[in-house]
């Protein structure tokens, strides 16, 4: 079997030689797509140069490109022939037709539902709605882990500024934050501020070589935690903490709540449209109910 040209995929006689074995059969006369370069025809199906070009991965060498095109055309020919053979060997297509019609119907319904929702819900869920849902459904947001806001530092144990770090890490003013940043750079200390966003305690605990139970117990009673080993001193201060079993902070779940409310509103709206359509059809005598006999 002849192979196919590549790079530009110029239409050559070699491109159609693989299907010459069909010459003993009736080749369908097809109307080629204007402006496109036909490569191969099998029955009434045509593969165009542009189709292969779109599938061609970027960055292939000339040889790799040729191999890819060869495989692509072979696979296309085999798929077409296999499909045609399948149609000939499955004469009863009623089940397939039913599945196709059901799928077509579901596509129409899905697209219509999207259109309805776009027209109806153009405004976002309000903060008041989010707050109300959060308050009424606190049981949905129970934490399975502790979350905190705060500051975490890992300072080299030999740092000359260690005492100053200890003085500053529990302070919550901007001047202290600025000095901590400068000291961290000078001492190659690891510094993470997260006073403005909640973080899982697990993220911090993984960086401290101490039992998580010990850390959480001290945070709950003291609001801060320190630990030292031969190499480093670990300083953790929290401004806010919600322990495992508590309700997750609203700012963490507001996005999820908006999604829940949006989905609920959309479902309720589509259901109401369906009910109205049914009621209108009943009033128009467009529905026939057949009495069931026993």
DSSP 28: P
Of 231, 230, 201, nearest to 214 (Cα)?
201
Sign, CA torsion 196/201/207/213:
positive
Position 56 confidence tier, pLDDT thresholds 50, 70, 90 = confident
Can you tell me the distance from the alpha carbon of 68 to that of 56, in angstroms, rounded to the nearest whole number?
Answer: 7
Whether the model pTM is above 0.85: no
Predicted local confidence at residue 11, as pLDDT: 37
Predicted local confidence at residue 4, as pLDDT: 53
Per residue in 59-91, pLDDT tens?
Answer: 777 788 888 888 999 998 898 899 888 888 888
pLDDT at 273 exceeding the cut of 70:
yes
Can you tell me the distance from the alpha carbon of 25 to that of 31, in angstroms, rounded to the nearest whole number?
Answer: 19
Per residue in 176-207, pLDDT tens?
Answer: 899 999 999 988 889 989 999 999 888 888 88
Predicted local confidence at residue 13, as pLDDT: 33
Mean pLDDT (whole number) for 155-163? 92
257 sits in which H/E element: helix 250-283
pLDDT at 14 exceeding the cut of 50:
no
Predicted local confidence at residue 17, as pLDDT: 39
13 φ/ψ angles, rounded to the nearest 5 degrees: -60, -35
Task: List CB contacts of 73: < 8 A, sequence separation 6 or more.
Answer: 4, 15, 18, 39, 40, 47, 52
237 φ/ψ angles, rounded to the nearest 5 degrees: -125, 135
């Amino acid at each position: 079997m002849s192979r196919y040209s590549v790079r530009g995929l110029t239409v050559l006689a070699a491109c159609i030689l693989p299907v010459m074995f069909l010459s003993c059969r009736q080749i369908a006369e097809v109307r080629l797509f204007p402006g496109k370069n036909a490569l191969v025809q099998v029955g009434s199906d045509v593969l165009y140069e542009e189709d292969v070009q779109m599938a061609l991965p970027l960055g292939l060498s000339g040889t790799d490109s040729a191999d890819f095109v060869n495989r692509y055309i072979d696979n296309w020919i085999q798929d077409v022939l296999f499909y045609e053979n399948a149609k000939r060997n499955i004469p009863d297509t009623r089940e397939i037709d039913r599945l196709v019609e059901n799928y077509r119907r579901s596509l129409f319904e899905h697209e219509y539902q999207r259109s309805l929702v776009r027209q109806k819900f153009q405004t976002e869920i309000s903060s008041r709605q989010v707050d109300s849902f959060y308050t009424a459904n606190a049981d949905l947001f129970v934490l399975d882990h502790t979350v905190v806001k705060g500051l975490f530092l890992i300072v080299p144990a030999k740092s000359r500024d260690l005492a100053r770090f200890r003085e500053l890490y529990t302070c919550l003013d901007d001047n202290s934050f600025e000095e901590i940043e400068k000291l961290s750079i000078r001492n190659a200390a690891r510094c993470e501020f997260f006073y403005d966003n909640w973080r899982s305690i697990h993220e911090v605990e993984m960086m401290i070589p101490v039992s998580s139970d010990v850390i959480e117990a001290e945070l709950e009673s003291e609001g801060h935690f320190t630990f030292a080993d031969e190499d480093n001193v670990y300083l953790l201060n929290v401004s806010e903490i919600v322990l495992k079993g508590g309700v997750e902070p609203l700012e963490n779940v507001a996005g999820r709540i908006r999604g829940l409310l949006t989905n609920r509103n959309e479902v309720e709206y589509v259901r109401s449209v369906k009910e109205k359509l049914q009621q209108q059809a009943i009033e128009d005598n467009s529905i026939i109910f057949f009495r069931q006999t026993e």
